[in-house]
Structure 1
Amino acid sequence: MTTPDAPGLIDRYLQLCEDRELDEAGRFLAERARLVFPGGREYSSLREMAAASTGTYRWVRKHRDRYLVGDADGRVTVTSLGRLYGEWLDGTPFEDIRYADVFVLDGGLIVEQHVYNDLALVAQQRDA
């Protein structure tokens, strides 16, 4: 895989995840991909990840503002930067919550996904 293809691959994967087309999105993952989310929560599958988010919000999507790409040790790293928007469990909308997703690709597959965002912080402030 060449570096210019990496952002497109990640963008497609993220869109499939947002659309909950998890089987198709899973084809972008290596066999034992690490999916690490805020709080150090690690999932072994996209279905496990989706099930864990059901108590936080009704739905969430991403304004993917930009991608940063790097190469090291035969792997490609892609960072997606942007803003989350969606709906809390009570139906109240939210928007402009910053996020950064870091992906490590090897052989054209995602071997690591690290998710960082301010969703929990905003939820805490909202409930205070």
Structure 2
Amino acid sequence: MTDDPVTEAKRIVEAYLERSMARDAEGARQYLAPDCEIIFTGGRAMTGPEDPPAFNAKRYAWVQKRFLRTDAVQDPETGAVHVWNTGHLYGEWPDGTPFDGNRYVDFFAVKDGLIRRTEVWNDSAEILLARAGLAEAPL
């Protein structure tokens, strides 16, 4: 633990994401406030750290995140630290086709050592539409 709230918030977020990717819901839960708001792709409200992997199990055979950056800034009004983790998803679609380079950005609000809110965005919906022949996607 560090005295710098921005550095500590980035550490908390990356530790949470590592536990989430390991499908360790209880390990991930230790980083979340009891009333944490989890908003997943498409505006889906989730109730706990077990929900995103359960949703992802329907969308991917398996998926992992490749972190590119973790940026943070402290909100002077609330004291919360706003953290953005960006990178690429890689893994396999349900049919076994591998993928890589699927962009994501995750937002977190961290205060008093706990994640209070997280929001998740990625290119998966666009890519899946393109694979179904329903839309054009950049990949």
Q: Aligned pair 1:114/2:119, yes or no?
A: yes
TM-score (norm. length: structure 2):
0.88
Secondary structure of the structure 1 residue equivalent to 2:87: strand
Return the offset for 1:7: 1.4
Q: Following superposition of structure 1 onto structure 2, how do residues 42-121 of structure 1 map, counting pairs within 5 Å?
A: 42-72=45-75, 73-121=78-126
Question: 1:58 deviation in Å?
Answer: 1.3
Count of aligned pairs: 128
Q: What RMSD over aligned residues (CA atoms) do the two structures have, in Å?
A: 1.1
Q: Which has the higher strand share?
A: 1
Per-residue deviation at 1:49? 2.6
Partner residue in 2 for 1:39: 42
> Shift of residue 22 of structure 1?
1.0
| TM-score scaled by length of structure 1 | 0.95
1:29 equivalenced with 2:32 (yes/no):
yes
Give unpaired runs (5+ residues) of structure 2: 134-139
Q: Which is worse superposed, 1-10 or 31-40? A: 1-10
